[in-house]
Amino acid sequence: MLTRLYGARYTAHASLISSIAFAGTVLGMLLFGWTSDHHSRPRSLLVSTLLLILFAALSAGSYGAGGAVDGLFAALAASRFLLGIGIGGEYPAGSVGCAEGAAEMGGGSRGRWFILFTNVQIDLGFLAAAVVPLVVLLLSCFAPFVPALRNGGERWVGGM
């Protein structure tokens, strides 16, 4: 989508923008793994969720100073890195919390509840991540009567 909008100017930054969130995810796993073990797992999960929401919104609203395209890509890369830290924080704090909660369920049903609370939710998220942006893009392309999506569908998809 960014290639279609910005052409060759985006291809110079494409590898950084697409991989920087992974670097943030690794750092987030290490950072929030340590904080959830040494401080508080619920607070670590709350902070990582707030980071995730905040920097997803900032990624969607990335803007270069004075409308500069290179500034847009720098802001997008920074927002995606910090978004990755929030994503990475969800793994150690959330899955360990689910494992502890499943352990309280009792003997034979522990694995079933852990899978239900972790893997099924992740799979439903993958499904929603594929379907919802597609619907938004289709609405922005083929439904000019939706003023919120006209000439801005890519921002909505980026925020999702």
pLDDT digit string (tens) for the chain, length 160 residues: 667 767 777 777 778 888 899 999 999 999 999 998 888 888 998 999 999 999 988 888 887 777 787 788 888 889 999 999 999 998 888 888 777 777 777 777 777 777 777 788 888 988 988 888 787 777 766 656 655 555 555 666 666 6
Single-letter code of the amino acid located at 90: E
Cβ pair 101, 117 in contact under 8 A: yes
SS (H, E, C) 32-44: HHHHHHHCCHHHH
Q: 159 and 57 in contact (C-beta within 8 Å)?
A: yes
User: How far is residue 63 from each of residues 16, 43, 70, 108, 111, measured CA to CA in Å?
Assistant: 17, 31, 9, 52, 45
Q: Which of 139, 134, 141 is nearest to 157 (CA)?
A: 134
